[in-house]
Structure 1
Amino acid sequence: MKPPEEIKLEVKERFSNLSGTYDQIMFLKQITLRLVELTHLKSGDAVLDVATGTGAAAIAAAQIVGEKGKVVGVDLSPAMLAHARRKVNEARLQNVEVYEGDAEHLDFPDSFFDHVICSLGLFFMPDMIAALREWQRVLKPGGSIGFSSFGAGLFEPLIGLWINRLKQHGLMPASLPVKRLETPADCQAVLRGSGFSKIEVQFEQLGYFIPTVGERWNDIVTGLEGEPLKQLTPELRNQIEKEHMEELMAFMTPEGLFVSIPALFSWGWKSG
């Protein structure tokens, strides 16, 4: 297993490379906004958004907590944070700040936030329990930690089709740690292991239709799925594109290609 600091550097680099196209990935925003909605924030709350990325959750939370509230976003990637700051400025929000920082070592006092949220970020962290314990430290008694993760069957059957296409060309799919939190039992275990006793996990089947196979290809090349293509010649990349778009046509419906997004939303409440 790689050292934790090496993993963090890889995550930082991976998302810095994605920062320019990150907001084009529809399902990320869909899950993120749903987490904010389900966490039941209220006016005046102080909220920490860990792995804030380009700021979607932080901005949505800031609009709920209002002028009397405060939202702080933390992320490893300066490139992602640059987009977050731009969006905060465009929205003219005065109650949001974003900082570069490590989720396992937060620069905030004990019992500082009413809620801590983390959308699709916890499973990237080398030591999830250490991260959750640190978030619990900065959480006020009675406050909640909420995070989202992907359930089993993410993107099926489309992801299976893509992986098979890569393997036919001797390519390995991008290694993603999403399976670390793909069941309710997984989510409950990390919350219990970090000291929470009051726990809730909610499953929702989300998804959407992509109108054309070309848009599915764009999602691949702008997201983590497309990482194996970066090492290829333009000729081979074009060949794989042609082959994959042809096989995708078998999955087209009148509404388009369905992207299945099984999502888990988990919360733990700090006692007191």
Structure 2
Amino acid sequence: MSNQPELNKYKQEIADLYSSRSQTYDNSDWHLQIARRLVEYGGVSLGHQVLDIATGTGHVAIAAAQIVGSEGRVVGIDIATGMLDRARNKAQELNLKNTEFMLADAEALDFPVNSCDRIFCASAFIWMSDLHAALTHWHKFLKPGGILGIQAFADTAFVGGIVTQKVAKKYGISFKMSQPTGTVEKCRSLLEQAGFEDVEIKIDRDGSYISLEKAKAMWAGSSHPAPGQYPPPLSTLSTEQLAQAKAEFDTEIEALQTERGVWNDITTFYVFGRK
């Protein structure tokens, strides 16, 4: 496996974004909760060989490593060096000897065929350039009977994204965001078309009221990469159009304000398929 994966502009921007977020990524327990549920639902056991795709700061990898024991092994891969540094430090602090973190592109992995009992991808699947190709590629690494588990968000999740999509559509711009994995049917179809069987999907219906200020801060803008799309869709707008679109976004968000704040849906899918 290459120590320095060749990244295109889209992936390099993702790597830079998440490396810049690495020092504050663990400030919230939200990603940790998602990771632990994915591992729990995925049935990790003593001795399992686990591959954690887009490991980030190692939430899934560390949770799995604490279960598989000395007879098991966990490999976490990511393209963001800053996130990997955090993951390695956390594993070292916990004295985990069965865990390894590698800099690698999830869609170009050179990994042993039929070597993994479990493959997981939390909070990152939607960032893959080609979802079907990624799943098909990962399918090869599973042992027969092994299980892949991914986490995805419903297309109703994140009020900022929903409103951004609505505003962008007025300008003839399509934002994918969570749409490719946004329903149970889409998730099931993705895995089945990639060759997975016995697909099971657990739904966590969640959400909370957030402040108007926080909701307005969820504007996608054009400064960050967009999941599955490059260049960012709104980057095609002029400065004046972008300012107008942001004003329209704020107006739409304000219309959603209630006495309790703005409702932010976070419906989450935990999707599992067997080889």
Match of 2:232 in 1: none
* Residues 91-147 of structure 1 deviation map (CA, whole Å, 9 limit, x = unaligned): 221111110101122232111110000012121111112211221111100000110
Q: CA deviation at 1:208?
A: 5.2
Match of 2:12 in 1: 9
Instruction: Map residues 201-212 of structure 1 onto 2, 5 A cutoff.
Output: 201-207=201-207
SS in 2 for 1:140: strand
| Distance in structure 1 (CA, Å) of the matches to 2:95 and 2:73 | 14
Gaps of 5+ in 2: 1-6, 169-174, 225-242
**Amino acid of the structure 2 residue aligned with 1:266:** V
Give the one of 140, 155, 166 matched to 2:158: 155
Match of 1:179 in 2: 179
Q: Which runs of 4+ in 1 moved over 3 A?
A: 158-161, 207-210, 224-229, 247-253, 256-259
Q: Is 1:268 aligned to residue 273 of structure 2?
A: yes
| Distance in structure 1 (CA, Å) of the matches to 2:161 and 2:105 | 31
Give the one of 76, 90, 93 matched to 1:90: 93
Q: Is 1:80 aligned to residue 49 of structure 2?
A: no
| Distance in structure 2 (CA, Å) of the matches to 1:22 and 1:248 | 31
Identity of aligned residues (%): 35
| Distance in structure 2 (CA, Å) of the matches to 1:44 and 1:209 | 42
Contact 1:111–1:141, Cα closer than 8 Å, also in 2? yes
Gaps of 5+ in 1: 168-174, 230-235
- Describe the shift of the 1:226–1:113 C-alpha distance in structure 2 as closer, same or farther (beyond 3 A): same
* Count, aligned residues: 247
Query: As a proportion of its length, which structure holds more helix?
Result: 1
Contact 2:72–2:98, Cα closer than 8 Å, also in 1? yes
| Distance in structure 2 (CA, Å) of the matches to 1:81 and 1:87 | 10
Contact 1:116–1:145, Cα closer than 8 Å, also in 2? yes
Instruction: Map residues 110-121 of structure 1 onto 2, 5 A cutoff.
Output: 110-121=113-124
**Amino acid of the structure 2 residue aligned with 1:136:** H
| Distance in structure 2 (CA, Å) of the matches to 1:69 and 1:141 | 17
Contact 1:27–1:261, Cα closer than 8 Å, also in 2? no
Q: CA deviation at 1:225?
A: 5.5
Q: CA deviation at 1:150?
A: 0.3
Match of 1:31 in 2: 34
Match of 1:128 in 2: 131
- Describe the shift of the 1:252–1:118 C-alpha distance in structure 2 as closer, same or farther (beyond 3 A): farther
Match of 1:170 in 2: none
Give the TM-score normalised by the residue count of structure 1: 0.75
